[in-house]
Amino acid sequence: MQSPHGKTVLIVHAQPEPTSVTRQLVHASVAALRAQGHAVLQSDLYAMGWKAVFDADDFPDRARDARLSFVDESAHAYAHGKQTADVEEEQRKILAADAVILQFPLWWFGMPAIMKGWIDRVWAYGLAYGFRGEGNALRYGEGGFAGKRALLSVAVGGPAIDYSPRGINGPLEQLLFPITHGALFFPGMQVLPTFAVYGAGRMDAASMAQACGDWRARVERLFDDEPIAFRPQNGGDYPDRHVLADHVAPGQTGLLAHIGNARDTAASPVPAAALQEA
Amino acid sequence: MQSPHGKTVLIVHAQPEPTSVTRQLVHASVAALRAQGHAVLQSDLYAMGWKAVFDADDFPDRARDARLSFVDESAHAYAHGKQTADVEEEQRKILAADAVILQFPLWWFGMPAIMKGWIDRVWAYGLAYGFRGEGNALRYGEGGFAGKRALLSVAVGGPAIDYSPRGINGPLEQLLFPITHGALFFPGMQVLPTFAVYGAGRMDAASMAQACGDWRARVERLFDDEPIAFRPQNGGDYPDRHVLADHVAPGQTGLLAHIGNARDTAASPVPAAALQEA
Q: Among residues A63, A254, A80, A243, which one has the least CA distance to residue A174? A: A254
A38-51: b (≥16 Cβ within 10 Å) or e = bebbbbebbeeebb
User: How far apart, in whole angstroms, are the C-alpha atoms of residue B130 and residue B136?
Assistant: 9
CA-based nearest distance B87→chain A, Å: 15
Q: Among residues A202, A178, A30, A195, which one has the least CA distance to residue A116? A: A178
- Domain B8-228's class? alpha beta
| Cβ pair B254:A119 closer than 8 A | no
> What is the pLDDT, as a whole number, of residue A266?
41
Whether the CB-CB separation of A6 and A38 falls below 8 Å is answered with yes
For helices A21-35 and A205-220, the axis angle rounded to 10 degrees is 40
Q: Is the whole model's pTM more than 0.80, yes or no?
A: yes
Least confident of B73-82, B116-125, B126-135: B126-135
Q: Among residues B133, B102, B129, which one has the least CA distance to residue B187? A: B129
pLDDT band at residue A104 using 50, 70 and 90 as cut-offs: very high
pLDDT at residue B66 tops 70:
yes
> What is the pLDDT, as a whole number, of residue A132?
86
| Cβ pair B168:A244 closer than 8 A | yes
Phi, psi of A94 (to 5 degrees): -60, -45
| Cβ pair A53:B114 closer than 8 A | yes
> What is the pLDDT, as a whole number, of residue B277?
46
Q: Does A71 touch chain B (CB under 8 A)?
A: yes
Residue B221 CA to its chain's centroid (Å): 17
* Residues near B259 by beta carbon (within 8 Å), at least 6 away in sequence: B228, B229, B230, B231, B270, B271, B272, B275
CA-based nearest distance B3→chain A, Å: 36
Maximum distance among all Cα pairs of chain B, rounded to whole angstroms: 59
Instruction: Name the residue in chain A with its Cα closest to that of B45.
Output: A53
| Residue A146 buriedness (CB in 10 A; 0-12 / 13-18 / 19+) | middle
pLDDT at residue B135 tops 80:
no
Q: What is the DSSP string of B34-77?
A: HHTT-EEEEEEHHHHT-----SGGG-SS-S-SSS--HHHHHHHH
Write out pLDDT tens, residues A82-101. Answer: 999 999 999 999 999 999 99
What number is the average pLDDT over the span B170-183? 98
| Percentage, residues of chain B above pLDDT 70 | 92
pLDDT at residue B117 tops 60:
yes
The minimal CB distance from A108 to the residues B53, B170, B182 is found for B182
| Percentage, residues of chain B above pLDDT 90 | 89
pLDDT band at residue B274 using 50, 70 and 90 as cut-offs: low
| Torsion of the alpha carbons at A166, A260, B112 and B154, rounded to the nearest 10 | -80
User: How far apart, in whole angstroms, are the C-alpha atoms of residue B237 and residue A275?
Assistant: 24
What number is the average pLDDT over the span A221-247? 97
> What is the pLDDT, as a whole number, of residue A276?
54
User: How far apart, in whole angstroms, are the C-alpha atoms of residue A269 and residue B258?
Assistant: 28
**pLDDT averaged over every residue in chain B:** 93
| Cβ pair B168:A69 closer than 8 A | no
CA-based nearest distance B158→chain A, Å: 10
Q: Among residues B76, B9, B75, which one has the least CA distance to residue B220? A: B9
pLDDT at residue A186 tops 50:
yes
Least confident of A251-265, B78-92, B200-214: A251-265
Neighbours of A165 (CB within 10 A): 17
What number is the average pLDDT over the span A251-276? 69
Residue A70 CA to its chain's centroid (Å): 22
pLDDT at residue B86 tops 60:
yes
| Percentage, residues of chain A above pLDDT 90 | 89
Write out pLDDT tens, residues A133-174. Answer: 776 779 999 999 999 999 999 999 999 999 999 999 999 999
Write out pLDDT tens, residues B13-25. Answer: 999 999 999 999 9
User: How far apart, in whole angstroms, are the C-alpha atoms of residue A36 and residue A30?
Assistant: 10
> What is the pLDDT, as a whole number, of residue A275?
60
The half-sphere exposure of B209 on its side-chain side, counting CA atoms within 13 A, is: 3
pLDDT at residue B264 tops 60:
no
pLDDT at residue A185 tops 60:
yes
pLDDT at residue B1 tops 50:
no
> What is the pLDDT, as a whole number, of residue B133?
77
pLDDT at residue A264 tops 70:
no
User: How far apart, in whole angstroms, are the C-alpha atoms of residue B110 and residue B179?
Assistant: 8
> What is the pLDDT, as a whole number, of residue A265?
42
Phi, psi of A172 (to 5 degrees): -55, -45
Q: Does A252 touch chain B (CB under 8 A)?
A: yes
User: How far apart, in whole angstroms, are the C-alpha atoms of residue B138 and residue B145?
Assistant: 11
> What is the pLDDT, as a whole number, of residue A278?
42
In this structure, chain A runs to a length of 278
Q: Does B182 touch chain A (CB under 8 A)?
A: yes
Least confident of A14-23, A29-38, A125-134, A263-272: A263-272
User: How far apart, in whole angstroms, are the C-alpha atoms of residue A27 and residue A19?
Assistant: 10
